[in-house]
């Protein structure tokens, strides 16, 4: 009998206020004020924890999402106002005990010392359940940050590389055993185990030490989502989980193989980086019911929202001569914005010969992520297919409507994955790293000293 533990699926709940579908807020089941409703988020994270999810995740932009200039589309958009992720997760860490919290934060618009500090705080406050989704921010939000303009793609990635290394260095300021706290002798800490980083680079000059102890997990888990060439390289060097968007098994396998193949170059092994594609599950008791559910939510999209979605993909292109039933023209090759997502949508259009209507309907829910419409068994099958064929280690579940889309997934799909022996019944550990099976990183200063002393 083979006693080897079956490889297990990891699950993230990718939370978007009212749900991932662009018109989710109009659905009778959605919480229309979700973005600013803490009780709504509390319900969601507790539902995800009931389903023994590894983590919850929110995307983020340092400024408003919706930059449409069409007043009709603006009037109908629910995307403008929502919580800052670290504040939100800090709050919800107190009403949960095991689930991990992935907060998105920008290396282009935040400060590394303040960012290192707030994530270290979050890791302590949650008792080792913090993760940082490192983003460079594709959209130009420079007009809110007193800087002359949005840095170019290549510069953003150079800055991100330096930023991440610097933040890790700051998290190493205190060694794990730096604190002695002996009341009798009055010795509080060992100053030899507190380090100044003295970082001086292209973008930053930061001496340290950080004014927080070393995070419970050593470092919060590092997540990355870029799929461009510099994005993949940054991920291979620094990330422990990648959130990715793929439509087909083949594309997902290509991405999985490519990124995993880069790890050895950085002295890392296959298990050091988990690949987690998004999946947008539209559930129904039968296939027909699922399709009806999908059609209903798609019917809630107002034409002005449809055109604003199209205009976002056809940046700089005049669409005024087109009707929704015209064949979609070729997408422009925008060189700065959402490179990898643009390629994905371009492939989708070309593969399926879409009309403009079919194009906006294809991205209105999953925004380029994989859409699966079906019964709970069919959703589970779709996940297992990718998991067992070199395309995924984990999945980011993107419920169309919240809170019900998450509740349904937990109640209907999770039990199937458990029955198949592919998903946990109980959490293995108390920290996010323990549950994801990721090693706790050593302190770079301690490693350097050990090497000096050995050498």
241 contributes a contact to its own copies by CB under 8 A:
no
Q: Does 97 bind its own copies (CB under 8 A)?
A: no
What are 445's two structure tokens?
Answer: 């200063």
Q: Is 90 in the site for its own copies (CB under 8 A)?
A: yes
Q: Token pair for residue 300?
A: 């809630």
> Rounded to the nearest whole angstrom, what is the least distance from the CB of residue 63 to its own copies in the complex?
6
Q: Is residue 446 part of the contact set for its own copies (CB under 8 A)?
A: no
Per DSSP (E only), the strands in 375-437 are: 394-397
Residue (191 or 316) nearer to its own copies, CB: 191
How many residues touch its own copies under the rule CB under 8 A: the total is 77
Q: CA 309, CA 384: separation in Å to the nearest integer?
A: 31
Residues 28-67 that bind its own copies (CB under 8 A): 28, 32-33, 35-36, 38, 42, 61-65
Minimum CB distance to its own copies, residue 7 (Å): 34
When asked if residue 190 is in the footprint of its own copies (CB under 8 A), the reply is yes
Q: Which residue's CB is nearer to its own copies, number 8 or number 77?
A: 77
Among 50, 67, 83, 446, contact with its own copies (rule: CB under 8 A): 83
Q: Give residues 114-153 in contact with its own copies (rule: CB under 8 A).
A: 114, 117-118, 120-122, 124-125, 127, 143-146
Contact positions with its own copies (CB under 8 A) in 337-376 = none
Of 256-315, which residues contact its own copies (CB under 8 A)?
300, 302
At closest approach, how far in Å is the CB of 238 from its own copies?
21
- In terms of CB distance, is 103 or 234 closer to its own copies? 103
The size of the chain, in residues, is 455
Determine which residue in the list 139, 155, 194, 311 makes contact with its own copies, applying CB under 8 A. 194
Q: By CB under 8 A, is residue 249 in contact with its own copies?
A: no
Distance CA 333, CA 330 (A): 9
Based on the shown chain and the rule CB under 8 A, indicate whether residue 187 belongs to the binding site for its own copies: yes
C-beta of 27 vs 424, nearer to its own copies: 27
In this structure, what DSSP letter does residue 56 have? E
**Closer by beta carbon to its own copies, 87 or else 389:** 87
Q: Which one, 213 or 231, has the nearer CB to its own copies?
A: 213
Q: Is 19 left (phi over 0), alpha (psi -120 to 50) or beta?
A: left
In 3D space, the residue among 452, 440, 445 whose CA is nearest the CA of residue 173 turns out to be 445
The least distance separating its own copies from the CB of residue 14, rounded to whole angstroms, comes to: 19
Least distance in angstroms from the C-beta of 253 to its own copies: 37
**CB under 8 A: which stretch of 19-27, 255-263, 280-288, 340-348 binds its own copies?**
19-27
Q: How far is CA 419 from CA 251, 346, 388, 412, 425, in A?
A: 29, 38, 16, 12, 9
CA proximity to 415, closest of 379, 366, 452: 379
Closest listed residue to residue 436, CA positions, set 11, 81, 85, 2? 11
Q: Which is nearer to its own copies, 125 or 422 (CB)?
A: 125
Report helix, strand or coil for 302. Answer: coil
Q: Which is nearer to its own copies, 90 or 394 (CB)?
A: 90
Rule CB under 8 A: is residue 81 a binding residue for its own copies? yes
Q: Which helix (H) or strand (E) holds 277?
A: strand 274-283
Nearest Cα neighbor of 244 from 344, 155, 163 is 344
Report in angstroms how near the CB of residue 243 gets to its own copies at its nearest.
Answer: 21
191 binds its own copies (CB under 8 A): yes
DSSP string, 187-229: EEE-GGGB----EE-SS-EE----SSPPPTTSSPEEEE---SH
Q: Which of 203, 248, 312, 441 contacts its own copies by CB under 8 A? A: 203
Q: Give the number of other Cβ atoms within 10 Å of residue 327's Cβ.
A: 12
CB of 202 within 8 A of CB of 163? no
In whole angstroms, the minimum distance from the beta carbon of 101 to its own copies comes to 11
Q: What is the DSSP string of 72-134?
A: HHHHT---S----HHHHHHHHHTT-SS-EEEEEEETTTS-HHHHHHHHHHHHHHTTS-EEEEE
């Amino acid at each position: 009998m083979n006693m080897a533990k079956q490889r297990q699926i990891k699950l993230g709940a990718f939370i978007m206020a009212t749900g991932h579908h662009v018109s989710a807020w109009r659905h009778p089941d959605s919480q229309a004020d979700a973005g600013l409703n803490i009780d709504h988020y509390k319900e969601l994270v507790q539902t995800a924890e009931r389903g023994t999810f590894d983590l919850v995740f929110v995307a983020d932009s340092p400024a408003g999402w919706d930059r449409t200039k069409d007043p009709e589309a603006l009037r109908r958009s629910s995307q403008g106002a929502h919580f800052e992720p670290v504040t939100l997760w800090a709050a919800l860490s107190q009403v949960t005990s095991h689930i991990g919290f992935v907060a998105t934060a920008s290396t282009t618009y935040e400060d590394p010392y303040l960012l290192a500090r707030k994530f270290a705080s979050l890791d302590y406050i949650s008792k080792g359940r913090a993760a940082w989704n490192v983003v460079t921010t594709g959209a130009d939000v420079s007009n809110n940050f007193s800087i002359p303009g949005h840095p170019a793609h290549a510069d953003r990635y150079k800055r991100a590389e330096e930023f991440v290394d610097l933040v890790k260095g700051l998290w190493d300021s205190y060694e794990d055993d730096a604190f002695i706290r002996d009341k009798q002798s009055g010795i509080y800490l060992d100053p030899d185990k507190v380090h100044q980083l003295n970082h001086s680079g292209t973008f930053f000059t930061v001496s340290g030490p950080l004014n927080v102890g070393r995070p419970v997990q050593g470092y919060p888990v590092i997540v990355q989502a870029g799929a461009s060439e510099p994005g993949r390289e940054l991920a291979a060097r620094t990330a422990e989980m990648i959130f990715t968007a793929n439509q087909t098994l083949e594309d997902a396998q290509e991405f999985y193989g490519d990124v995993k193949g880069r790890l050895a170059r950085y002295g890392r092994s296959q298990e050091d980086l988990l690949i987690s594609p998004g999946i947008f599950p539209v559930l129904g008791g039968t296939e027909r019911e699922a399709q009806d559910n999908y059609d209903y939510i798609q019917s809630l999209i107002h034409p002005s929202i449809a055109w604003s979605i199209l205009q976002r993909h056809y940046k700089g292109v005049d669409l005024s001569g087109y009707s929704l039933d015209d064949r979609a023209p070729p997408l422009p090759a925008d060189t700065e914005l959402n490179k990898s997502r643009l390629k994905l949508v371009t492939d989708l259009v070309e593969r399926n010969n879409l009309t403009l209507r079919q194009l906006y309907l294809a991205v209105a829910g999953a925004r380029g992520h994989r859409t699966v419409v079906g019964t709970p068994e069919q959703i589970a099958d779709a996940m297992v297919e990718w998991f067992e064929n070199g395309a995924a280690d984990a999945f980011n579940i993107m419920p169309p409507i919240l809170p019900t889309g998450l509740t349904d997934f937990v109640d209907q799909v999770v039990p199937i994955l458990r029955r198949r022996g592919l998903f946990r019944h109980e959490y293995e550990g108390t920290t996010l790293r323990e549950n994801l099976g990721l090693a706790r990183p050593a302190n770079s200063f301690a490693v350097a000293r050990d090497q000096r002393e050995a050498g």
